[in-house]
Amino acid sequence: MGAKCTRTEFEYSYTDEPHATRRKEILAKYPEVKELYGADYSMLFIVPFVVTFQIWMCWMLQDASWPITITLAYLIGGTINQSLTLAMHENSHNNVFNRNYLLGRLFGMFITLPIGVPASIAFKKYHSEHHQFMGDDVKDQDIPHPLEAKLFDRTFTKVIWLILNPFFYALRPCIAYPKPLTPWEVVSFVVQMTFNYVMLVHVGGAKGLFYLLGGSLLGMGVHPMAGHFISEHYIFFDNGQQTSSYYGPMNYLCWNVGYHNEHHDFPWISYRNLPKLKKLAPEYYDYLPHHTSWVKCLFDFVTKPDIGPYARIKTASSCGKLMDVNNEEHNQKAD
């Protein structure tokens, strides 16, 4: 079973939420940061190509052997679908169409077609609260449930937890913090199931559909791309920071989600402008410990006894304190 985790509970912070504080300071010192705001239409040229490629791969694998299908689902399908998941994340912040919510919802449904799961609408309504109430016991459903942390607290079980991460990530909010079903979620479900049916019956058969759905599951588990789940908010450094950035080559595949401190400070700055934000205000980011390898994050998460599902910081918001001191602007910009 391996070494047992030394952490037996979450850490708590009673200081002000760091991102709202840093955002306020940066805006006061560098008002020109507002020039980085605004819609970024580059996804409209990249995502359709990626979606088309995944449909083509689905068709190509209809007569392939299962070993080849599974291998390619992990190596290619998992990588691309995890990239599309992060494109969905970028779109959820209204960074593609700004405040045109209709186009944003439709584009989100298009992004998730190869992923095989109608995630975009539901993701947005939970993810916005991850930003506004980071560390909150209930509203931040990015934090593992206490039962998860208790059950998966050894080296071997942490590997199992990583493999099952897509299920925990999808089902945790529905169980621990259910929200009413919206009409847009119903539309998204119908669109996605229709696409899956077409892929299964008319395009790629069982193997082609497995390449898409299996790739999504594999890409969110023990996969280099999935290292971002662990690197972003788990405690790797001893300075008490709740968010950690990653500066490495996988940012090119992941829409710069590695610039995670920068992203939480300004969620409405598009992925292409996050490096510009870091360059504009280096004194706020260069001193922060950061990651350079997502693979190392996964390895350390599994092997180090002081890192595990309990290695997260909960905040005073868990006691009813609103974290975001600039919440009105956050709601207006990040929706």
| pLDDT, position 317 | 53
CB contact at 8 A, 77 and 211: yes
Cα–Cα nearest to 274, from 19, 33, 10:
33
Q: How many CB atoms lie within 10 A of CB 283?
A: 8
Q: Check pLDDT > 80 for residue 1.
A: no
Q: pLDDT digits over 227-260, tens only?
A: 999 999 999 998 888 999 999 999 999 999 999 9
Residue 3 lies in a domain: no
Nearest to 231 by CA among 169, 141, 292: 292
Range of the domain at 304: 11-334
Domain-embedded: residue 206: yes
Whether residue 227 is contained in a domain is answered as yes
Which residue type occupies 161?
W
Percent of the chain's residues with pLDDT above 70: 94
* 291 Cβ contact partners less than 8 Å away, ≥ 6 residues apart: 231, 236, 244, 245, 246, 247, 248, 258, 297
How long, in residues, is the chain? 335
pLDDT at 3: 84
Quote the pLDDT of residue 322. Answer: 41
In-domain check, residue 326: yes
Q: Structural domain tally of the chain?
A: 1
What are the tens digits of pLDDT across the range 163-216? Answer: 999 999 999 999 999 999 999 999 999 999 999 999 999 999 999 999 999 999
Question: Does residue 6 belong to any structural domain of this protein?
Answer: no
Residue 193 counted as domain residue: yes
Instruction: Give the least confident one: 48-52, 94-98, 279-283.
Output: 94-98
The rounded distance, in Å, linking the Cα atoms of 206 and 191 is: 19
Q: Are 59 and 201 in contact (CB under 8 A)?
A: no
pLDDT at 238: 87
Statement: residue 325 has pLDDT above 80: no
312 token code pair: 């997260």
pTM: 0.91
Provide the pLDDT for residue 315: 84
pLDDT of 305 higher than 90:
yes
Identify the band that residue 124 occupies on the pLDDT scale cut at 50, 70 and 90: very high
Is residue 57 in a domain? yes
Q: Residue 66: which H helix or E strand, with range? A: helix 66-72
Residue 2 falls inside a structural domain = no
- Crossing angle for the helix pair 78-92 and 205-219, to the nearest 10 degrees: 60
